[in-house]
Every structure is written in C-alpha cells, then in structure tokens.
C-alpha cells in the first residue's frame, strides 16, 4: 500500500537524519529519558506504596473505638466493651493494647503491641527486623525495657519477624499483656482502644453513630477513612513533588523548543534540498513528526524501564534521604511491582505531550522553507 510505503520511506530518512546528528540527539535523549525517569519513579513509587498501604490496612480492624478526654486520646475502660457489644449489628469487640517506646540510647521509637494471641508467653518478645538491627539483638538475647516507674523489665527475644512487608513490622515489638502493663503502667481493666467487628460492612457508619450516641466520649474510626486519609496524603505528597518537577518539565520543553528551532545551517540546507527535489511541506512535516516520535518513544521506554528498575528492584534508592527523614528505623523493603495503564497514560501526558507541542511550530517553520531557496544556496 502506497501510504504505508511512503511512511516507511520517510521513517527511513528520519532515522538516518537522527543518526547524522548524533551529538545533539543523544544529548536530547539523555535529558528526555532522565526527566521521564524521575517523574515515572515518583509516580510508580506513590502508586505502589498506596496500594501497599491499602493491602496492609485490609488486615486492620474495620472500626476502632478510642476514648477521648478533652480532645486527647485516653485509655478506654472494659465496661465500654459490654456497651458496644450490646449494639445491634456488632459481632465482636476486643480490647487492644499498644503504644510507643522510646529508646534514648539509640534514639529510636518502637511500637509495642499485644497481639490477639501471643504464643511465647510472659517474659518473651517477638521483634521486627528493624528493631533487631537497631538493638543488635538476635534470638535468645535479653532486652531491657525501662518501665513507667523507672524500673527495668528484661524480656528475652523469642522470635524475629520476617513479614513479607517489612514496612509494617520493622519497628514492632510483640509482647504479652502482663508485660505490656508492667512497662506502660496501663492498669488492669483498661485498654488503649477497642477493635470492633460488625456483621454487615454497610452498617458501619450507622453503628459508628450509635456508638457515639451511647458513649459520647468515644471516637469511632473507620478503616475506610484511614485508607482515604493515607491515599490523600500520598497523593498530596506525590503531587507536591510533581508540581516541583513541573519546573523540570518546563525547562525541558524550552530545551526541546530551542533544539527544534535552532536548525544548524546544515539542517536548513538539507531541508531546502528536500523541498527542491520534490518533497512537499506535509512530507517534511511527516519527517519531523517521525523524528520526534522516534526520540519520544525511545526516551519514554528507556525512562520507564529505568524507573521500574529503580523503584521496584533498587527500592527507590535515589530518593532514600527524602523518605527516611529522621527515622532511625528505616525498613529495608521491596515494593510489590505495580504498574497500570493509568500511570503510563499520565506519564505520557506529562512528558511526551509537552515535548510534541513544543516541536510543532519549529517543525512547521522548518517544513515551510521555500523550495526556491535551494536554487540560491
């Protein structure tokens, strides 16, 4: 078919044109790829970590009830459990015990949690990898905890947790209820908060309202709200980074425009010759289109692949300082790879689109070189 052949021919010349100006085009591809790499890394990371958070949060209770006092979180008495249990639609209520422990020697915060069933019993703890690394403690080692009253409680490490998702377990210390109460000073009959299971998930908002009515000093928190908050935060953070990177996109667009406009005299001569020997303006426009497409697609694929490797295989290593912040217990994690067409489309819109738009007018300027000009070169 002649139209395909025509484009095949033009594409052939486009490729040879690009190769003839290697230095300029390779520089452009490097910058283009880098830009896509950074943007893609941020997008992939944000989406993957959101998804990760969602998955993890699925395991958390659908509703948590906290007691508040003067707007602050207070311990919740166990007779609240009975009040909530009596509400229609509630399947079960469990008191949770958890809190934070600050280790001044190492400047680290651990999360102490009493799980639903702690098989190791009193005197033992199970710790996350991050804790293990910070304390330099392995199985069988004794770890002293400073209790609320200044005394020390020594607990033996029974197990080091190897959760698939180190993000959540890294700073965890699991222990028994009596040990927790001994360290924290939480009196018997009180819990940190309550986890509530309901029969029908659709009833959650209704039940939450009922709880608020029956126990006015409580604050029911729905898991969906938490999920939403996390997503908003990640989106917001990702978005802020993107807005900042828009500066980079803008600079790149200017560069692209400049490169496209600044035809060397050799390039001008070539196009003049093309017009002179019988190429029409639209033919030269197609030539420029194919040149741009080859550059864009090459950079896009390279950038996306590099970003994939960076985020999912190298754990987003270039941005580590930003994520780590002041945290001492930075988890070693491998994010579950997650890419969908939506992210690719967004990326495309953010990078290839501005690049293409920037080159439209310069391409046209080049294409409308007077064929007559070749006679006077």
Residue from 164, 320, 332, 370 binding other proteins (CB under 8 A)? 370
User: What element of type H or E holds 43?
Assistant: helix 22-58
Pairing of strands 152-160, 124-127: parallel
| Binding of residue 258 to other proteins (CB under 8 A) | no
C-alpha separations of 110 from 115, 169, 176, 294, 328 in Å? 15, 10, 16, 52, 10
What does the DSSP assignment read for 196-259? EEES-GGGHHHHHHHHHHHSTTEEEEEHHHHHHHHHHHHHHHHHHHHHHHHHHHHHHHHHHHHH
Residue from 76, 256, 350, 366 binding other proteins (CB under 8 A)? 350
Question: What minimum distance in Å lies between the beta carbon of 100 and other proteins?
Answer: 28
| Binding of residue 308 to other proteins (CB under 8 A) | no
Residue from 29, 36, 49, 367 binding other proteins (CB under 8 A)? 367
Q: Give the gyration radius of the chain's Cα atoms.
A: 31
Nearer to other proteins, 116 or 340 (CB): 340
Pairing of strands 193-198, 63-69: antiparallel
| Interior angle at CA 248, CA 29 and CA 307, nearest 5 | 60
Q: Are 173 and 111 in contact (CB under 8 A)?
A: yes
Nearer to other proteins, 5 or 116 (CB): 5
| Binding of residue 43 to other proteins (CB under 8 A) | yes
Q: Total residues at the site for other proteins (CB under 8 A)?
A: 68
Q: Pick the piece of the chain touching other proteins (CB under 8 A) from 92-100, 193-201, 262-270, 311-319.
A: 262-270
d(CA 127, CA 224): 28
| Binding of residue 283 to other proteins (CB under 8 A) | yes
Nearer to other proteins, 114 or 274 (CB): 274
The residues, any chain, with a CB within 8 Å of residue 349's CB and separated by 6 or more, are: none
| Binding of residue 273 to other proteins (CB under 8 A) | yes
What does the DSSP assignment read for 172-192? EEEE-HHHHHHHH-PPTTEES
| Binding of residue 243 to other proteins (CB under 8 A) | yes
| Binding of residue 296 to other proteins (CB under 8 A) | no
What are 65's two structure tokens?
Answer: 């009830």
| Contact track, other proteins, 13-42, x by CB under 8 A | x--x---x------------------x--x
d(CA 119, CA 181): 17
Question: What minimum distance in Å lies between the beta carbon of 179 and other proteins?
Answer: 38
Neighbours of 203 (CB within 10 A): 14
C-alpha separations of 178 from 103, 151, 160, 182, 213 in Å? 20, 15, 21, 6, 33
| Binding of residue 334 to other proteins (CB under 8 A) | no
| Binding of residue 353 to other proteins (CB under 8 A) | yes
Residue from 151, 200, 232, 327 binding other proteins (CB under 8 A)? 232
| Binding of residue 46 to other proteins (CB under 8 A) | yes
Q: Pick the piece of the chain touching other proteins (CB under 8 A) from 10-18, 171-179, 304-312, 319-327.
A: 10-18
Residue from 77, 99, 115, 371 binding other proteins (CB under 8 A)? 371
| Binding of residue 228 to other proteins (CB under 8 A) | yes
| Binding of residue 127 to other proteins (CB under 8 A) | no
Q: How far apart are the first and last CA of the chain?
A: 36
Nearer to other proteins, 318 or 361 (CB): 361
| Binding of residue 255 to other proteins (CB under 8 A) | no
Q: Pick the piece of the chain touching other proteins (CB under 8 A) from 64-72, 129-137, 188-196, 224-232.
A: 224-232
Q: Are 100 and 112 in contact (CB under 8 A)?
A: yes
Nearer to other proteins, 102 or 250 (CB): 250
Four-residue CA torsion sign, 339, 341, 342, 343? positive
Note the residues at the interface with other proteins (CB under 8 A): 2-3, 5-6, 8-10, 12-13, 16, 20, 39, 42-43, 46, 224, 227-228, 231-232, 235-236, 238-240, 242-243, 246, 266, 269-270, 272-274, 276-283, 285, 340-342, 345-346, 348-350, 353-354, 356-357, 360-361, 363-364, 367-368, 370-372, 374-377
């Amino acid at each position: 078919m002649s139209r395909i052949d025509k484009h095949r021919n033009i594409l052939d010349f486009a490729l040879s044109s690009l190769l003839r100006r290697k230095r300029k085009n390779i520089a452009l591809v490097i910058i283009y790829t880098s830009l896509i790499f950074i943007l893609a890394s941020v997008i992939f990371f944000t989406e993957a970590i959101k998804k990760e958070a969602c998955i993890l949060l699925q395991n958390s209770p659908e509703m948590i009830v906290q007691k508040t006092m003067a707007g602050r979180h207070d311990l919740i008495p166990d007779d609240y459990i009975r009040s909530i249990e009596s509400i229609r639609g509630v399947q079960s209520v469990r008191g949770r015990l958890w809190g934070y422990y600050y280790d001044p020697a190492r400047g680290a915060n651990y999360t102490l949690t009493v799980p639903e069933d702690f098989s190791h019993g009193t005197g033992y703890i199970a710790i996350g990898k991050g804790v293990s690394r910070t304390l330099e403690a392995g199985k069988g080692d004794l770890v002293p905890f400073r209790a609320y009253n200044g005394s020390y409680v020594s607990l033996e490490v029974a197990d080091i947790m190897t959760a698939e998702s180190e993000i959540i377990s890294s700073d965890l210390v699991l222990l028994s209820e009596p040990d927790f109460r001994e360290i924290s000073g939480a009196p018997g009959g009180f819990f940190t908060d309550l986890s509530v299971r309901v029969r029908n998930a659709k009833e959650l908002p209704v039940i939450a309202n009922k709880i608020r009515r029956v126990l006015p000093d409580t604050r029911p928190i729905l898991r969906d709200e938490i999920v939403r908050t996390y997503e908003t935060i990640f989106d917001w953070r990702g978005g802020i980074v993107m807005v900042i990177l828009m500066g980079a996109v803008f600079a790149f667009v200017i560069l692209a425009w400049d490169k496209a406009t600044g035809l060397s005299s050799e390039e001008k001569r070539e196009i003049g010759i093309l017009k002179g020997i019988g190429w029409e303006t639209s033919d030269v426009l197609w030539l420029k289109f194919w040149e741009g497409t080859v550059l864009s697609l090459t950079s896009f694929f390279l950038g996306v692949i590099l970003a994939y490797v960076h985020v999912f295989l190298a754990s987003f290593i270039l941005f580590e300082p930003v994520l780590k912040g002041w945290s001492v217990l930075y988890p070693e994690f491998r994010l579950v790879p997650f890419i969908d067409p939506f992210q690719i489309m967004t990326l495309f819109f953010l990078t290839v689109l501005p690049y293409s738009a920037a080159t439209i007018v310069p391409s046209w300027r080049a294409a409308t070189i007077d064929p007559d000009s070749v006679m006077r070169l």
